[in-house]
Amino acid sequence: MTDRDIDDVLLVEDELFIALDLQETIEEAGFRVVGPCATIVEAQAEIDRHAGRFAVAVLDMRLADGAVFPAADRLHDAGVPLLFHSGHADDAALRQRYPTATVCPKPSAPDTLAAALRRCADRRRAA
């Protein structure tokens, strides 16, 4: 992973105003945003483009073209910390599938989300 990748956060969110709000929160926390991706297809393309190297991935559960799991599985396999930001997240099911995932219910306060991002990024740097 390069120094540049350490600060990249993949944002996968299909609701425009929420995506813009999240992008601002992520950037104010000191990260660069890749995305936002509104579909699994877009997310998969960014994963390919960046070879799966991100500090963190912020993922909504339900996207315009289905559940985020195909992208989440690839990111998880690449060792990218997953931060699920969704109103549809089943915390127990997500933790069973992705034991190290962070779940922030939608909506989350910007400070809460920024702190969770930093914890995830720190975990990635330590790996």
Residues 85, 51: Cα–Cα separation, whole Å: 23
Over residues 57-76, the pLDDT tens digits come to 999 999 989 999 999 999 99
Over residues 83-119, the pLDDT tens digits come to 999 887 788 888 899 999 999 988 889 999 999 999 9
What is the pLDDT, as a whole number, of residue 59?
A: 97
Domains and CATH numbers, the chain: 3-126 (3.40.50.2300)
Residues 41, 12: Cα–Cα separation, whole Å: 11
Over residues 13-56, the pLDDT tens digits come to 999 999 999 999 999 999 999 999 999 999 999 999 999 899 99
User: What is the band of 6 on the pLDDT scale with cuts at 50, 70, 90?
Assistant: low
pTM assigned to the model: 0.93
- Residue 5 reports pLDDT greater than 60: no
Peptide bond preceding 107 in cis form (omega within 30 of 0): yes
What is the pLDDT, as a whole number, of residue 2?
A: 46
